[in-house]
């Protein structure tokens, strides 16, 4: 008995380290996308062989180990309190344990098909419901680990991030159910593996086909500028400091306009604009737009009215300036700002342009509103934190795939990035590559009416239904077990 317990503890240790390591390197700030396809397998395999408490504990420990990949980011960039870090680390770990235990319960009661679907459905249910209430939107989704896997990324145009997370986890659960049942029910095991991998094959075929189709739309030359000089990173004070910084950006913008840039985007929160400064700021940048014929999008902190806004001001040739107020703030750094509620849309000969700011692109709903308006190009001033320049800077890639628009994003302490509506990075440069980093690239202004744009979060609700059905199925099989109609699969003989 003691040797069996020691063996189980040894297996639990190996499973926790294996899954934790795969999650650590497969998610986070620089994920290696293949790893997350296999990450759950060690813990799922273990769950079929050990007691429920050891399976749950192993899953919890594994996810905590994996989640430690963000510890430096939380501390150095976000300066997050220890209690908040603990919640962010422990809650997903406990949810991971719950999904594993649901999988184990159904598997051991021979509800094999339900087990295969319950594991991804439970996770996506928690992930989707969290995105509805979290101030960080969809930022915690496992789908973002797959941004570099372009054929798979195309699934976002149909299901959004929920479908990607579901299919990603379905791979592991199908393989584990097939492996655990191949001795007792080989025919069913083969069917489960074929269905699970078949779904993934269909998804990837769809992705390859979608990537092969041409992106129609007029090409527009966009220019991006950002500076990471120490004096330019923080928000410049109102008055002379902001005016000087805007003049320096305007000088670079004029050069980009001379190079053919039809629209120029510079980062968010460059400086503070008071009531006394608005006319002077507008005169400077509107004059540049009138002189060059280019549109300019600049991010400022607007304190000209009774409330403060994180604002993008848009200057079009021979037109009245437009404004866009950021909708989604980063707590606690931006808690003082009044959230915006409206869209800023510009009909152009090339197509329709829209404006958002940085964290707005973490949320699917706002992007769908722009998609519904027929936007083909989003212009996004932003500000990242160096360490998250890839992870947060590329979240917006999925918004373009989901809602069918290209993106031009300029972030200080991040990247200057141009992306088409298939999620392909057409051009990119680091904001610290020079004193004032610049990038000029052509991007198609192409609006694509996707299934996700039309149906919204349908797959998130489907996952909830599958999860509820799984719970009902667990109740039924437990009742049948108590009535002697079914038998559990012995733990040590499952594999």
Give tens-digit pLDDT for 390-433: 999 999 999 999 999 999 999 999 999 999 999 999 999 999 99
Higher pLDDT, 6 or 392: 392
Per-residue tokens: 494: 């499952």
Per-residue tokens: 298: 């600049």
pLDDT in tens, 20-30: 999 999 999 99
Cα(473)–Cα(465) distance, rounded to whole angstroms?
A: 12
pLDDT value at position 481?
Answer: 72
Residue 150 has pLDDT above 90, yes or no: yes
> DSSP label at 147?
T
Specify whether the CB–CB gap between 11 and 60 falls below 8 A: no
Average pLDDT of the residues in 28-43? 97
pLDDT in tens, 348-407: 999 999 999 999 999 999 999 999 999 999 999 999 999 999 999 999 999 999 999 999
Cα(166)–Cα(143) distance, rounded to whole angstroms?
A: 9
Residue 310 has pLDDT above 50, yes or no: yes
Residue 449 has pLDDT above 50, yes or no: yes
* Band (336; pLDDT cuts 50, 70, 90): very high
Specify whether the CB–CB gap between 284 and 317 falls below 8 A: no
Cα(363)–Cα(36) distance, rounded to whole angstroms?
A: 23
Specify whether the CB–CB gap between 222 and 262 falls below 8 A: yes
CA distances (Å), origin 351, targets 218, 354, 374, 427: 8, 10, 8, 21
pLDDT value at position 492?
Answer: 41
Specify whether the CB–CB gap between 430 and 387 falls below 8 A: no
Cα(487)–Cα(185) distance, rounded to whole angstroms?
A: 14
Lowest mean pLDDT segment, chosen from 44-48, 414-418, 491-495: 491-495
pLDDT value at position 401?
Answer: 98
Exposure of 474 in the CB half-sphere (CA atoms within 13 A): 20
Per-residue tokens: 312: 């993008």
pLDDT value at position 495?
Answer: 36
Instruction: Return the closest-CA partner of residue 338 out of 378, 311, 373.
Output: 311
Average pLDDT of the residues in 7-20? 94
Residues 6+ apart with CB under 8 A from 428: 415, 416, 417, 418, 439
* Band (488; pLDDT cuts 50, 70, 90): low
Residue 343 has pLDDT above 80, yes or no: yes
Q: Which CATH class for the 218-447 domain?
A: alpha beta
pLDDT value at position 494?
Answer: 40
In the structure, how many helices (H) and strands (E) does the chain have? Answer: 17, 13
Q: Which residues pair with 406 in a beta bridge?
A: 377
pLDDT value at position 486?
Answer: 58
Higher pLDDT, 169 or 304: 169
Average pLDDT of the residues in 317-328? 96
pLDDT value at position 224?
Answer: 98
Average pLDDT of the residues in 146-169? 98
Mean pLDDT across the chain, nearest whole number?
94
Specify whether the CB–CB gap between 104 and 52 falls below 8 A: yes
Of the chain, the percentage scoring pLDDT greater than 90 comes to 86
Average pLDDT of the residues in 167-184? 94
Cα(413)–Cα(402) distance, rounded to whole angstroms?
A: 26
Average pLDDT of the residues in 68-79? 87
Cα(242)–Cα(248) distance, rounded to whole angstroms?
A: 10
């Amino acid at each position: 008995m003691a040797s069996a317990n020691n063996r189980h503890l040894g297996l639990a240790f190996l499973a926790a380290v294996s899954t934790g390591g795969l999650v650590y390197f497969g998610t986070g700030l620089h994920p290696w996308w293949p790893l997350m396809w296999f990450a759950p397998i060690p813990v799922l395999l273990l769950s079929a062989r050990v007691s429920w408490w050891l399976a749950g504990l192993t899953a919890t420990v594994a996810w905590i180990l994996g989640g430690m990949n963000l510890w430096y980011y939380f501390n150095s960039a976000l300066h997050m309190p220890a209690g908040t870090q603990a919640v962010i680390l422990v809650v997903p770990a406990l949810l991971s344990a719950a999904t594993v235990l649901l999988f184990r319960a159904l598997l051991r009661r021979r509800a094999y098909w339900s087990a295969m679907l319950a594991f991804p459905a439970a996770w996506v249910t928690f992930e989707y419901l969290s995105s509805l209430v979290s101030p960080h939107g969809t930022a915690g989704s496992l789908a973002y680990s797959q941004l570099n896997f372009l054929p798979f990324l195309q699934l976002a145009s149909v299901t959004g991030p929920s479908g990607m997370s579901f299919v990603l986890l379905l791979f592991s659960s199908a393989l584990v159910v097939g492996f655990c049942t191949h001795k007792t029910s080989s025919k069913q095991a083969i069917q489960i593996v074929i269905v699970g991998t078949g779904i993934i094959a269909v998804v990837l075929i769809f992705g390859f086909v979608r990537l092969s189709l041409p992106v129609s739309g007029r090409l527009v030359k966009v220019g991006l500028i950002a500076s990471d000089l120490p004096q330019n990173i923080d928000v410049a004070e109102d008055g002379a400091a902001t005016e000087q910084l805007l003049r320096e950006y305007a000088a670079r913008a004029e050069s980009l306009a001379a190079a053919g840039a039809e629209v120029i985007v510079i980062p968010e929160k460059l400086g503070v604009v008071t009531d006394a400064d608005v006319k002077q700021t507008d005169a400077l940048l509107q004059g540049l737009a009138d002189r060059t014929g280019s549109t300019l999008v600049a991010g400022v902190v607007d304190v000209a009215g009774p409330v403060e806004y994180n604002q993008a001001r848009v200057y079009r040739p021979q037109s009245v300036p437009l404004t866009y107020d950021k909708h989604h703030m980063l707590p606690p750094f931006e808690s003082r700002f009044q959230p915006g509620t409206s869209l800023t849309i510009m009909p152009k000969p090339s197509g329709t342009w829209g404006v958002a700011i940085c964290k707005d692109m973490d949320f699917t709903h706002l992007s769908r509103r722009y998609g519904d308006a027929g936007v083909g190009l989003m212009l996004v001033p932003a500000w990242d934190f160096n360490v998250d320049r890839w992870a947060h800077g590329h979240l917006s890639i999925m918004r373009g795939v989901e809602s069918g628009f290209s993106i031009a994003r300029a972030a200080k302490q991040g990247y200057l990035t141009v992306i088409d509506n298939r999620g392909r990075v057409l051009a990119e440069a680091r904001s610290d590559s020079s004193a004032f980093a610049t990038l000029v690239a052509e991007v198609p202004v192409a609006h694509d009416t996707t299934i996700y744009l039309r149906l919204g979060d349908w797959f998130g609700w489907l996952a909830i239904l599958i999860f509820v059905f799984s719970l009902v199925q667990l109740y039924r099989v437990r009742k049948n077990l108590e009535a002697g109609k079914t038998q559990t699969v012995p733990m040590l003989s499952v594999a």
